[in-house]
Amino acid sequence: MKKISAIILAGDNSTLASPRAMYEISGKTFLEKLITSVSNLDEIIVVGTHFKDPKIVRVKSGKSLLESLQNGLNAAKYDRLLICTSDIPYVTEEDIQRFIEECESMSHPADVYYPVINTNLITDSFPKIKRTTVTLKEGTFTGGNILICKKESLATTFDYIESAYKLRKSPIKLASLIGFSMIFKIILSKFNPNILKIEDIERAASKLLNLNVAAVQTSRPALGIDIDNNEQYQEMIQFELSK
C-alpha cells in the first residue's frame, strides 16, 4: 500500500474556519477522535488549532478554506493524500481503512475519490441526524466530508480549483464550467430522478475541477455525518442520549 498523508482541516478562532474541531463527544474533542481514527496512516497534518502532539505536523490556517488546504498540501510528504474536515465525529479507524480499500478496488483509477452514502445506511445508523441528500437513478445519497487524492494532481490544477471556488455563488458562471446540459439535468431530476446518474455527477465534478473524479459508493455511513453548526451538534447530543 502506498504511503498516505492525512490532512485534517481543523481551523481556529482566528480564521474563517469554525471551531467545530473543539466540540466534544464522549469526553473527547472531534479533533482528538479523528486523529485517533487516522493514526494508522503514515503522516498526520492538522491545519489550524493549537492541538499539540509530537507525532502530528501542525500547520497554520489560511484566510480561506482553499488557503488552508494549500498550506496542508505544502506540508505533506507523500503524494497520496486523505483530506478531511474535523467535524466528522463518528468516523472510526475501521471506516478510514475500509474507505481506502473501496477506493483501491474501483475499476477505473482517478485523481480524486469522493464517498457517496446511500441514505438508507444513514437512517439505519443515525436516525436522528439530518442530512442534505440528492436523489439519483441509483438511489438517494449524501456526500462525505473526506476524500482521497493525489497531491501532484491537486497541485497542478489548484489555480483552476480556486477559480471554480470563487464562482460558487454565481450559478450562471459556474454552469459555464460544468455545462448547461448538466444544469438542465439537475433541474429535471427534481421531477424524474431516473434522469441523473452517479456517472453524470462524476463527469460534472471532473469538468469543474479539471481532474478525474470518482464517486465511491461506500458502505460506511459515518463518513456522511458531519456536524456543521450548533443545531446539528444538539441533534447529535440528543442522538447520543437516546442510545
The size of the chain, in residues, is: 243
Residue type, 14: S
**Average pLDDT for the chain:** 83
Stronger pLDDT, 52 or 142, i.e. the higher one: 142
Mean pLDDT of 135-152: 91
What would the grid cell of residue 101 be?
480499500
Residue 81 has pLDDT above 90, yes or no: yes
Q: Which of 62-66, 147-151, 191-195 has the highest mean pLDDT?
A: 147-151
For position 165, what pLDDT does the model report?
61
Please give the pLDDT value at position 128: 77
Give residue 13's pLDDT: 45
Domain ranges of the chain: 4-242
Spatial separation of the C-alpha atoms in residues 39 and 33, rounded to whole Å: 10
C-alpha of 2 from chain center: 21
The segment with the largest mean pLDDT, out of 40-44, 228-232, 237-241, is 40-44
- Residue 25 is predicted with a pLDDT of 86
Query: What whole-number percentage of the chain has pLDDT above 70?
Result: 83
pLDDT tens per residue across span 47-68: 986 667 788 999 998 888 788 8
Class of domain 4-242: alpha beta
Contact between residue 8 and residue 53 where contact means Cβ atoms under 8 Å apart = no
10 Å CB burial of residue 135 (0-12, 13-18, 19+) is: middle
pLDDT at 14 over 50: no
User: Where does the chain have alpha helices with state H?
Assistant: 30-37, 65-75, 93-104, 119-125, 151-156, 158-166, 171-178, 180-189, 198-209, 230-242
pLDDT of residue 48: 85
- On the question of pLDDT at 142 being above 80, the answer is yes
* Contact of 215 with 114, CB cutoff 8 Å: yes
Q: How confident is the model at residue 239, as a pLDDT?
A: 82
Q: Is the pLDDT of residue 22 over 50?
A: yes
pTM (predicted TM-score)? 0.85
